[in-house]
Amino acid sequence: MGAIWFIALAAAATAPLWVWNPYHLHTLIMAGIFAVLALSLNLLLGYTGQLSLGHAAFFGLGAYASGLLTVKLEWSPWIGLLVAVALPALAGFMIGRLALKIRGAYFVLLTISFSGVVSLVSINWMELTNGPLGLPGVPPLAIALPGVAELSLRTKTAYYYVVLVAVTVCYLVCLGLVRSRVGRALVALRENETLAESVGINVTHYLVLATVVSAGMAGLGGGLYAHYTRFVSPEVFLFTYTVTMVIMVVAGGKGTLTGPVVGAVLFTALPEVLRAATSWQWQMLLYGILLVAVLFFMPQGIVPSLRAAVQRRA
């Protein structure tokens, strides 16, 4: 297991050195952004057992928050990123409070509705968001070094490392929460809410907490996306984003720490591989077939299944 970790970390740290093709590096950057999103969704879906089908809303809120602040008010993109975390986290807090007694299907509906509302606002509040035309000219991230000119993180290599740091931080946040009393309270909510309450776990408190952290993390993904693509439009609220996150979490292994990251890399790369390998008619069909195959043969997800296989051999 240690060797696998070492190889994966070494590969991730050196990727720009051996990934020559800029398009492949772009795919890796997107995989990193999706890894942040998948880690975020996994905190809710994998640990508390609550499915948020409006997760793109937090992602989109983050993208718009950072995009608007940097374009309209010309704030520093770094402060934009902070707000991209804070604003969705606040929205997550309100959703969590609303979901006081709402679980399962009702939680799903609440999150979908929220996503619908935010999406409509982004399309119709023309003065603020430019509506469907979107918001061009989002500035790239830059580091101001004292005495030297600003170092722009515009290149793919530089941005790759920004995203890598973000994935690492999000992973460590999840790890820290999960391997503590807090994480156990989240799992208790997933496993048996009534029993959790009867041993003194304030279930609502922990659900709100998970929603806040998860929403903030998804917002960070949105902010990173906005400053990478340099453009924000209402398409950030597309349901496809949420579905992609769910696929990554479930196929990778929900309720595990590495599962969402593995799922994010595989399912960002897969469409690109299929695009290169076949014609467009076959692309989505094969994607679907492969997804069904993964879920059929590894119902727990890729990471738990592989882990079990390694343990059997050992």
Partner 1 sequence: MSGVLEVRDLAVRFGGVTAVGGVSFGVDAGTVTSLIGPNGAGKTTAFNVITGFQRPTAGGVLHDGTAITGWRPHRIAARGLVRTFQKTSLFPALSVMENVVTGLHLRGRVGVMAALLRRGRVREEEQALRADAERVIEFVGLAPRRDTLASALAYGDQRLLELAVALAARPRLLLLDEPGSGMTASEKEALATLIRKIRADGVTVFLVEHDMRLVMGISDRVLVLNYGRLIADGSAAEIQRDPDVIRAYLGADARA
Instruction: Rank residues 220 and 265 by Cβ distance to partner 1 and give the closer one.
Output: 220
Q: Which position among 187, 238, 257, 306 is part of the footprint of partner 1 (CB under 8 A)?
A: 187
User: Which position among 201, 246, 249, 264 is part of the footprint of partner 1 (CB under 8 A)?
Assistant: 201
Between CA 55 and CA 292 the distance in angstroms is 23
3-state SS class at 253: coil
Neighbours of 231 (CB within 10 A): 16
* Under rule CB under 8 A, residue 195 binds partner 1: yes
Given the complex with partner 1, which of 193 and 272 has the nearer CB atom?
Answer: 193
Is 184 near partner 1 (CB under 8 A)? Answer: yes
Interacting residue with partner 1 among 41, 57, 84, 185 (CB under 8 A): 185
Helix and strand numbers (H, E) in the chain are 14, 4
* Contact positions with partner 1 (CB under 8 A) in 102-121: none
28 vs 210 by CB, closer to partner 1: 210
Q: Give the residue with the Cβ less far from partner 1, 36 or 185.
A: 185
The dihedral over CA atoms of 268, 107, 207, 180, expressed in degrees to the nearest 10, equals: -40
198 near partner 1 (CB under 8 A): yes
Stretch that binds partner 1, among 3-11, 39-47, 153-161, 174-182 (CB under 8 A): 174-182
| Least distance between partner 1 and beta carbon 115 (Å) | 25
Q: Indicate which single residue of 2, 137, 146, 200 sits in contact with partner 1 (rule: CB under 8 A).
A: 200
The only residue of 127, 145, 194, 297 in contact with partner 1, by rule CB under 8 A: 194
Place of tokens 């990251």: 261
Between 279 and 312, CB nearer to partner 1: 312
> How many residues in the chain?
314
Tokens 């398409």 — which residue? 235
Number of residues that bind partner 1 (CB under 8 A): 26
Q: Interface with partner 1 includes 176 (CB under 8 A)?
A: yes
Residue 285: count other Cβ atoms within 10 Å of its Cβ. Answer: 11
Picking from 59, 49, 68, 67, the residue whose alpha carbon sits closest to that of residue 216 is 59
Contacts 24+ apart (CB under 8 A), 174-180: 174/39, 174/42, 174/43, 174/257, 175/257, 177/43, 177/213, 178/47, 178/257
Q: Given candidates 183, 219, 223, 234, which one binds partner 1 under the rule CB under 8 A?
A: 183
Q: Strand pairing of 231-232 and 151-152? A: unpaired
Contact assessment for residue 205 and residue 93, using Cβ atoms and an 8 Å cutoff: no
Look-up: residue for tokens 């479930």?
Answer: 250
Minimal distance, residue 255 CB to partner 1, in Å: 9
Contacting residues toward partner 1, per CB under 8 A: 173, 176-177, 179-185, 187-188, 191-192, 194-203, 209, 213
